[in-house]
Amino acid sequence: MLTTSSGKKALLSSLTTSLILHEKINTTIQKARLLRPYAEKLITCAKQKNLASIRKVASEIHDRQALKKMNEVLVPRYADRKGGYLRIIKLGNRVGDAASIVVIKLVQ
């Protein structure tokens, strides 16, 4: 799927930003399986609320609106939750290439 480490990092960063802003995205199952542990670790890191964790999250997410939403909406929402912030739901296959499409969304 991805050939370089920098390409993978850029993909995960942009998918995480979109997921935070929209709270759900449609993507292929392979990308969703890569995204889930990455995004969950970032949310867990953001919950620590110390300077190092804030800088770590800011280095991974480059959009200010997404960072603001992470700190003001998602961190309080998941304060009592230990993990499992994301859910993957299968939608079916894409018409053009029969790729398996899923929706990955934040759990309420």
- pLDDT tens profile 4-60: 889 999 999 999 999 999 999 999 999 999 999 999 999 999 999 899 999 999 999
pLDDT at 82 over 90: yes
Residue 43 contacts residue 78 (beta carbons within 8 Å): yes
pLDDT attached to residue 4: 85
Q: Give the residues across from 27 on adjacent strands.
A: 102
Confidence of residue 108 (pLDDT cuts 50, 70, 90): confident
Per-residue three-class SS string for 67-95: HHHHHHHHHHHCCCCCCCCEEEEEEEECC
Domain enclosing residue 44, as ranges: 5-106
The CATH number of whichever domain residue 70 belongs to comes to 3.90.1030.10
| Global pTM value | 0.90
pLDDT band at 1; cut points 50, 70, 90: low
Domains in the chain, number: 1
In this prediction, residue 68 carries a pLDDT of 95
d(CA 42, CA 45): 5
Residue 12 corresponds to which amino acid?
A: L
Can you give the pLDDT at residue 2? 66
